[in-house]
Amino acid sequence: MKNSQATIRDLALKLNISISTVSRALRNAPDVNPETKKAVRELAKKLNYEPNRVAQSLRIKKTNTIGVVVPEIAMHFFSSAIGAIQEYTAKHQYSIMICQSMETLRMEKSNIHMLVSNRVDGLLISLSTQTKNVDHLQQLIEKKIPIVLFDRIDNSLDVSKVVVDDRAGAFKAVEHLIHTGCTKIAYVGGPDNLYVSNERMNGYMDALRKHNLPIDESLILHCKDLRADVGEATRSLLDRKDRPDAIFAMNDPIAIAVLQVLRQAHVAVPDEISLVGFTDEPVSQFMHPALTTVAQPSYTIGQEAAKLLMQQINNKEGFVPVTKVLHTELIVRESTRALKK
C-alpha cells in the first residue's frame, strides 16, 4: 500500500469489518456506532484515503463536475468568463473541465463527446465560428443534459443563453464614428453564420440608417477565418479608390489585425481611417494608437451562465430556459477622432 492509493477494501481489511460498514461510517450513517466511525476516520486519515469519485458518481448519478467549451482560452474575454464560472461553481462544491474548440466544429464536437462521456452534470458552451449545424447540441437537449450557451449562441436551440446586447453595442460604436464626422464606414466581421457577427452588423446598419447614410454592401466584409482572412479583407478596403474613412471590427482581435495592416500601409489612424473594436481586450489600451472599443462584462457573463446552469441541474424537470441580455459600454480612446463641435 506504500506505493498505491488506499482503497475502501484496505480500510475494511485493516479494521476487520465489512466494506459496507466502512462505506456507511465514512458517510456518517446513523446505524454505525460512534467507536467504529472514529476508528474508520482515523485510519482513513492515516492512510491518506480518498473516496473513489467515479464510483460515487455512478451510485448517485452525479459527478459535481461541469464541462466548459470555448473557442479560445487565450482570448481574455473567455479566460475572464471561465474565471467567473470556476469561482461560482466552486462555491457550490462543483469542479469544471475546460476545453477549447480552436474555432472548429470538429473539435467542438470532440470536446463535447469527451465531456459527456465523463458524465459531467451540465455544459457551458460558446460556439465555434464553424458551427452552422447544431444537431450535436440538439441531441444532448433531447437526452435532457443541461446546457447553457453564452456569448456565441444559436437561437434555434431551446436552452438558456447569456449574451450582451450586441446590436445596441455596435450601434453605439458606429454612431460614435458618425458623430466624429465619418461618413463611409466599413464593417469587418466574422462568418455570416456567426450570431454575434450578424447582430453587430445589424447594429452597424441601424446607425447608418438613423443618420441617413447609405448601406454599401461592398463595405461589409465577412471573414470565415478570424486569423487568416482579416489582412486580405483590410487590404481590399485600402485598394478601393473610394477608401472608407472608418472601420468597425466585430471584435478587438480583428481590430488589432486591421490596425497592423493600416500601419504597414502607412495609413494614419485616426486621421485617415478611424477604427473601433468590440470586447475591450486588455491589450487594446496598449496599442498605438489605443483602441476605441465596446466593453463587454465578461466576468458577469460567465457568472450568470454558471448560475443558470446550476439552477437547471438542481431543477431539471421544472426549469424553463431563459435568455439574459447584459449591457455594453463604449470606451473611447485614440483610434477615433475627436467629436465634431
What would the pLDDT profile of 142-189 be if each residue is shown by its tens digit?
999 999 999 999 999 999 999 999 999 999 999 999 999 999 999 999
Q: Given a cut of 70, is residue 136 above it in pLDDT?
A: yes
**Residue 331 near residue 281 (C-beta atoms within 8 A):** no
Answer whether residue 170 is part of any domain: yes
Mean pLDDT score, 309-338: 94
Is the pLDDT at 56 greater than 60? The verdict is no
Question: Is residue 205 located within the same domain as residue 231?
Answer: yes
Asked if residue 266 and residue 234 are part of one domain, the reply reads: yes
For residue 317, what pLDDT is reported? Answer: 80
User: In terms of domains, do 171 and 229 share one?
Assistant: yes
Q: In this model, does residue 206 exceed pLDDT 90?
A: yes
207 and 290 share one domain: yes
Query: What pLDDT score was predicted for residue 1?
Result: 43
Q: Which residue, 116, 20, 133, 125, is CA-closest to 69?
A: 125
Q: 99 lies in a domain?
A: yes
Query: What distance in Å separates the CA atoms of residue 283 and residue 183, rounded to the nearest whole number?
Result: 28
Q: Are residues 176 and 278 in the same domain?
A: yes
Domain range for 13 is 8-51
Q: Pick the more confident residue, 336 or 1.
A: 336
pLDDT bracket for residue 262 (50, 70, 90): very high
The CB-side HSE value for 318 (13 A sphere, CA atoms) comes to 3
Mean pLDDT, to the nearest integer, of 51-78? 80
Looking at the structure, tell me whether residues 303 and 291 fall in a common domain.
Answer: no
Query: In this predicted structure, what is the pLDDT of residue 17?
Result: 94
Regarding whether 158 and 198 lie in a shared domain, the answer is no
How many whole angstroms separate alpha carbon 7 and alpha carbon 51? 8
84 lies in the same domain as 14: no
Handedness of CA 70, 79, 91, 45 (dihedral sign): positive
Q: Tens of pLDDT along 101-133?
A: 999 999 999 999 999 998 999 999 999 999 999
CATH number at residue 43: 1.10.260.40
